[in-house]
Amino acid sequence: MFKEKFNEGIISARDFNREDIEYILNQARVMVHNDKSSDLLKGKILATLFFEPSTRTRLSFESAMHRLGGRVIGFSSAKVSSIKKGESIADTIRTVENYSDCIVIRHPLEGAAKLAAKFAKIPIINAGSGSGEHPTQALLDLLTITEEGKKLDGLNLGIMGDLKYGRTVHSLAILLSNYDVNIYFISPKELMLRNRDKEFLRQRQVKYKEVEKYREILDVLDVLYVTRIQKERFADVEEYDRVKGFYIFTNEDLKVTKDNFKIMHPLPRVSEISAEVDSSSKAIYFKQTYYGIPMRKAILAELLSF
């Protein structure tokens, strides 16, 4: 059962098998079709600890919790928490667990959520751990793809941009390794998927190809998932300057895509998709932000209801 398996929370996409994914997608679909507020989580408190900036992830978790009748406490910047005074993650978690029933954490360290789960007696949800993972984003991405009429088996998916530092990319590729997909990883050489991620995909016998120029394969794609170059992760500004603006997807590009092609982005966007694309019915990145609500409602309901 999902609830028992994930009683420590949602830490990594690697913990999900196909059955787990299908289960939580189905639970989220129930939430899509039942958009009303409820009091399922009345009396429960969610703590959102955001040590890095966020708009969609934090607000959709908070909105999901409110819509289920629960309450939310937390902070949206490391500057206003005692981390600023030198407190460790472990001590923060051992404190906040006394004030809440579940903790959502975003932190610049790759192993932060895992570490938090080690110390916590309540479920931890990884809302982004450095360049590592962002599993709930990947789950809502799969919900978006399937709710927009596509099957995961047989999907031709392009993932473009910062594949090295982009945590949403890592979780998405890992989840999709449970399906029979063809993945095209599109990036400048400097930002290719790291070896450890490729090794994982090879072990799972995922069919993937690495390319630098998206125009070469655009016509075969069912979905293109674009990501931002993660400026904040670069040790060297000059290295960032060399790759920024590498891709700019425009209306001209849309012309060669399949009729039922969709373009996605976890957002925030910088310049990698031109604003002119927004009005196309193929652009579904704002719909994608909506799917954060049913997916996060489903996750919170699983972890917190009796």
Residues of this chain that bind ligand NCD (CB under 6 A): 56-57, 128, 134, 137, 167-168, 227-228, 230, 266-268
Per annotation, catalytic residue among 33, 85, 121, 255? 85
For residue 81, the minimal CB distance to ligand NCD (Å) is 18
Residue 48, beta-bridge partner list: 74, 104
The first and second tokens of residue 36, run together, are 């009303």
Per annotation, catalytic residue among 106, 107, 167, 170? 106
Catalytic annotation present for 282: no
Cβ atoms of 74 and 49 closer than 8 Å: yes
Residue where the block lists tokens 């895509």: 257
For residue 162, the minimal CB distance to ligand NCD (Å) is 8
Contacts of 252 (CB under 8 A, 6+ apart): none
Rank residues 67 and 167 by Cβ distance to ligand NCD and give the closer one: 167
Q: Phi/psi zone of residue 161: left (φ > 0), alpha (ψ -120 to 50 degrees), beta?
A: left
Catalytic annotation present for 106: yes
The H or E element spanning position 230 is: none
The first and second tokens of residue 110, run together, are 């790759």
Rank residues 67 and 107 by Cβ distance to ligand NCD and give the closer one: 107
For residue 57, the minimal CB distance to ligand NCD (Å) is 4
Residue 104, beta-bridge partner list: 48, 125
For residue 9, the minimal CB distance to ligand NCD (Å) is 17
Per annotation, catalytic residue among 3, 14, 56, 94? 56
Rank residues 141 and 253 by Cβ distance to ligand NCD and give the closer one: 141
Per annotation, catalytic residue among 134, 167, 228, 265? 134
3-state class of 187 per DSSP?
coil
Catalytic annotation present for 56: yes
Per annotation, catalytic residue among 44, 48, 57, 114? 57
Rank residues 96 and 172 by Cβ distance to ligand NCD and give the closer one: 172
Rank residues 44 and 138 by Cβ distance to ligand NCD and give the closer one: 138
For residue 133, the minimal CB distance to ligand NCD (Å) is 9
Cβ atoms of 20 and 299 closer than 8 Å: no
Contacts of 60 (CB under 8 A, 6+ apart): 289, 292, 293, 296
Using CA atoms, how far residue 31 sits from 17, 68, 104, 258, 300, in Å, is 22, 10, 20, 30, 12
The residues annotated as belonging to the active site are 56-57, 85, 106, 134
